[in-house]
Structure 1
Amino acid sequence: MYRLRGHHIFCLLGYRGMGYSKEYVENMTHLHQTLRANPKTLVQLVNGPDQLCEKYPNSGEYHCQDNDIYQMDAVILEKIGLKIGQILTWADIESQIQKHVIPSDIQTVCGTCSWRSYGVCEEGIQMILQGKGLREVK
């Protein structure tokens, strides 16, 4: 079972193999590939740092504890219709995204994210809406 905070759900949708450090990318790629290959993988929604935050580089401000990040987590979970503490499969999370999210939501709920300008998260949501799951990362 993986522990995920709210905004990392959207990060996984847009993930294309880029990240903050080599170790972070390896960790994110492993999780992404696991969920893509086995959507029945269990995920527990947590408040605060999760298994992706564990590999965030220690090179300055640790944004995983930033109040803005906690706020983004809460907004995204509310948008998807999920709550902290829930344990569900990645497939269930994708199903909730299909019911409650549209690509343009990224502009609103992820307004402060530095990765937003790449446009990949909207593409990731569109893939989920089309029933294609997570995009393959090579």
Structure 2
Amino acid sequence: MYKLRGHHLFCLLGYRGMGYSQEYIENMTRLHQTLRNNPKTRIQLVKGPDHLCEKYPNSGEYHCQNDNIYNRDEVILKKLGLSIGQILRWEEIEVGIRKNAVPSDIQTVCKTCSWRSYGVCEEGIQDIIDGKGLREVK
């Protein structure tokens, strides 16, 4: 079982193999591939640093403890009708995304995210809505 915070549910949708460091990319890719290949993988929703934050590079301010990140987590969980402490299969999270999210949500929910300008998160939400699941990372 993996522990994930709210905003990482959307980050996984847009993940295309880029990240903050090589160690972070390898960790994110492993998780992404696990969820893509086995959507029955269990996820526990947590408040604060999670499985992906473990490999965030120590380069000054610890992004994972930033108030803006906690706010983004909360907004995304609320949007998806989820709450801290829940344990779900990834496929159940995808159902929640299909029911409760649209690609344009990224522009408001993730407005302060540095990755937003790539447009990949909107594509990721649309892929889930279309029933395609997570994109393959090459």
TM-score of the pair, normalised by structure 2: 0.99
Mark the runs of 5 or more structure 1 residues left unpaired by the alignment: none
Q: Tell me, in whole angstroms, the C-alpha distance in 1 between the residues paired with 2:42 and 2:14.
A: 20
Q: Tell me, in whole angstroms, the C-alpha distance in 1 between the residues paired with 2:85 and 2:105.
A: 24
Q: Which residue of 2 aligns with 1:78?
A: 78
Q: Does 2:59 correspond to 1:31?
A: no
Q: Which residue of 2 aligns with 1:55?
A: 55
Q: Tell me, in whole angstroms, the C-alpha distance in 2 between the residues paired with 1:136 and 1:48.
A: 27
Q: Does 2:42 correspond to 1:42?
A: yes
Q: What does 1:72-111 correspond to in 2, within 5 Å?
A: 72-111=72-111
Q: Tell me, in whole angstroms, the C-alpha distance in 1 between the residues paired with 2:126 and 2:79.
A: 16
Q: Tell me, in whole angstroms, the C-alpha distance in 1 between the residues paired with 2:34 and 2:42.
A: 11
The residue type paired with residue 38 of structure 1 is N
Q: State the Cα RMSD in Å.
A: 0.3
CA deviation string 1:50-70 (max 9, x = no partner): 010000001111110000000
Q: Tell me, in whole angstroms, the C-alpha distance in 2 between the residues paired with 1:121 and 1:50.
A: 20
The residue type paired with residue 68 of structure 1 is N
The residue type paired with residue 28 of structure 2 is M
CA deviation string 1:88-115 (max 9, x = no partner): 0000000000000000000010010000
> Post-superposition, which runs of at least 4 consecutive aligned residues in structure 1 deviate over 3 A?
none
Q: Tell me, in whole angstroms, the C-alpha distance in 2 between the residues paired with 1:111 and 1:131.
A: 25
TM-score of the pair, normalised by structure 1: 0.99
Q: Tell me, in whole angstroms, the C-alpha distance in 1 between the residues paired with 2:128 and 2:51.
A: 23
